[in-house]
Structure 1
Amino acid sequence: MEEKLSYIEGAEQPISMHPKKFALWLFIVTVVMIFASLTSAYIVRQAEGNWLEFDLPAIFWYTSGIIVLSSITLHFAYLSTKKDELSKVRAGMFITTFLGITFLIGQWYSWVALVDRDVYFVGNPAGSFLYVFTGLHAIHLISGVIFLIIVLISSFRYKVHSKNIDVMEMCVTYWHFLGGLWLYLFMFLLLNH
């Protein structure tokens, strides 16, 4: 009997994850698969010829800087959450939300710049792919901004602190993912344009 008890006591605990975090990671994997298939399709279609050559809008450089800066401010808010410095959490969340909205406005102006260059969604596949990449990313970024707003409101309701950090961790994960995804898309377009 003692042998059985020692065996049970030595059993390892299964790896567990918060169900909402697990769902977020599944969603992230899905988004990665979508963009991987789109970038693959881009390369295949570009090789077929009849590909419009045009310069990427210069505003992409600015929006890339904005998304990197927003990740820094969100990380500041995350570290402040761990220390229960709620005024810094709120400031970091507010700045990050503002930068996220600024990024979206910048993406809108990139579409304006494309239209000014006679690059449209309908017409040449080069333009179509660019609109799909930026539009699909913008849709995900809108969901990220909504997530930021939810966490910002929660911080004013004292629901985000060191003892209740799950929602902040999920927000940080998703936002950093969106920033990394944008940088990947931008570098991909620079290298394959």
Structure 2
Amino acid sequence: MATTMMTAEEHQARTARSYKLLLWFAMMSMTMMFAGITSAFVVSKSREDWMKDFQLPMAFYFSSLAIILCSVTFHLAKKAIQKDNRTATTNFLLLTLGLGIAFVVLQFVGFGQVVKAGYYFTGPESNIATTFLYVIAVLHLAHLAGGLISLLIIIYNHFKQKYNSGQLLGIELGAMYWHFLDFLWICLFLFLYFFK
């Protein structure tokens, strides 16, 4: 039986496909988890103690803008490295990190606004609607923490000059995940806005 050797390019392409497939599976499982939570949210709206007049805090609007801008800057970083423009890639990656941190800070400011308005997440004064809001936002923040960690690794690898126009798998995977996080938050935000 004859065996054929794989070229370095074929091995690299195969590895890239494997990593992308794993990321797709992870993103699909996260989507299913949030679909389950939002389904429970919809079913719970029929409860007598459901809060009818709840308004999303303004900080959530600004955090939505921050995460949309994260996707834009990450996309620009990917385009820059494809042209071997290291300076622009660095700037866009650092800007993405700053916007990601701004998103997290604005989420916590939003939680503070919810509590200040008299809506508590736990305890005797809590309401099922705000508890759902808390669960959805905290789970998204947990996934975003993974995104921030991967972004820090990407920035570190970029400074170690591991990426160029021929090798950009890490940036591609990071961009895919950030676009997913962006899309997921926008869907969750619109869901909470229209189905509160």
Select 1:166's aligned residue among 161, 169, 174: 169
Question: RMSD between aligned alpha carbons?
Answer: 1.4
Runs of 4+ residues over 4 Å off in structure 1: none
Pairs within 5 Å for 1:85-124? 85-122=85-122, 123-124=126-127
User: Which amino acid counterpart does residue 45 of structure 2 have in structure 1?
Assistant: Q
Q: Distance in 1 between matches of 2:32 and 2:16?
A: 22
Aligned runs of 1:24-173 on 2, under 5 Å? 24-52=23-51, 53-122=53-122, 123-173=126-176
> Which has the greater radius of gyration?
1
Q: What do the CA deviations read for 1:19-64 (whole angstroms, capped 9, x no partner)?
A: 2222111110010000001111000001233112321101111111
Q: How many pairs align?
A: 179
Inter-CA distance 70–131: structure 2 relative to 1 (3 Å threshold): same
The structure-2 alpha-carbon separation of the partners of 1:174 and 1:192, relative to structure 1 and needing over 3 Å to count, comes to: same
Q: Deviations over 1:59-95 (max 9, x none)?
A: 1111111111111111110000111111111110000
TM-score by length of 1: 0.89
Unaligned runs of 5+ in 1: 1-14
Q: Deviations over 1:165-185 (max 9, x none)?
A: 111110000000000111001
Q: C-alpha distance in 2, partners of 1:89/1:16?
A: 23
